[in-house]
């Protein structure tokens, strides 16, 4: 089975276990790398053309503004094709109850008909929100499987939960 891990993650200041911490690697990227290691899947990181602020407080306001205006932020690049892949592990943090708007940009770019999408979401207690419903709406024809919800502060200790989900 051919698979790819596609994710958006943000390093720098993040909310972790009730405090702001400076992360050298974002929580979703940590989870994505664990999945890659367990599955030997290819991997692709979604990067917006204009990065979010390194400041957590400014970043969350930027994310809220994006969501309120239903923005589709431009991305630096896309994979050439998703045709070779049957399974897509799709990772993102929870921003204001769903995926960051860069995920909407990415999902609207491709046709996911016949693909299996396995969402995974990092958060600090807000859960998965409406992101699975949003993925289903944006990717008609895809089989969207049960998501994995990971507390960001626990991501480094989430290997067993990820193995069980895979």
What predicted TM-score, i.e. pTM, was given to this entire model?
Answer: 0.92
Among 133, 76, 135, 129, smallest CA distance to 103 is for 135
Here the CATH number for the domain that contains residue 52 is: 3.40.50.360
Among 46, 44, 47, smallest CA distance to 4 is for 44
User: Measuring CA to CA, how many Å separate 21 from each of 24, 25, 29, 45, 55?
Assistant: 10, 11, 16, 22, 10
Per residue in 65-120, pLDDT (tens digit) is: 898 999 999 999 999 999 999 999 999 998 877 899 999 999 999 999 999 999 99
Question: What is the tally of structural domains in the chain?
Answer: 1
Per residue in 17-45, pLDDT (tens digit) is: 677 776 778 889 999 999 999 999 999 99
Q: In b/e form, how buried is each residue of 38-56, taking b as 16+ CB within 10 angstroms?
A: ebebebbbbebeeebeeeb
100 touches 66 (CB < 8 A): yes
Residue-number span of the structural domain to which 67 is assigned: 3-165
Q: How far apart are CA 123 and CA 153, in angstroms?
A: 8
pLDDT at 146 over 90: yes
Q: How many helices (H) and strands (E) does the chain have?
A: 5, 8
Residue 95: strand, helix, or coil: strand
pLDDT score for 44: 97
pLDDT score for 1: 61
């Amino acid at each position: 089975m051919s698979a790819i891990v596609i994710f958006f993650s943000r390093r720098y200041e993040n909310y972790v276990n009730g405090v702001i911490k400076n992360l050298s690697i974002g929580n979703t990227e940590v989870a994505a790398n664990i999945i890659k290691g367990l599955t030997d899947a290819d991997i692709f990181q979604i990067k917006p053309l204009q990065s979010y602020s390194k400041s957590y407080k400014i970043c969350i306001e930027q994310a809220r503004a994006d969501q309120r205006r239903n923005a589709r932020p431009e991305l630096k690049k896309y994979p050439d094709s998703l045709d070779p892949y049957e399974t897509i592990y799709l990772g993102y943090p929870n921003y204001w109850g769903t995926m960051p708007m860069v995920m909407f940009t990415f999902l609207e770019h491709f046709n996911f008909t016949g693909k299996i999408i396995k969402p995974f979401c990092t958060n600090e207690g807000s859960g998965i929100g409406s992101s699975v419903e949003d993925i289903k709406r944006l990717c008609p024809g895809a089989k969207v499987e049960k998501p994995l919800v990971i507390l960001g502060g626990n991501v480094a200790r989430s290997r067993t939960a990820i193995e069980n989900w895979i």
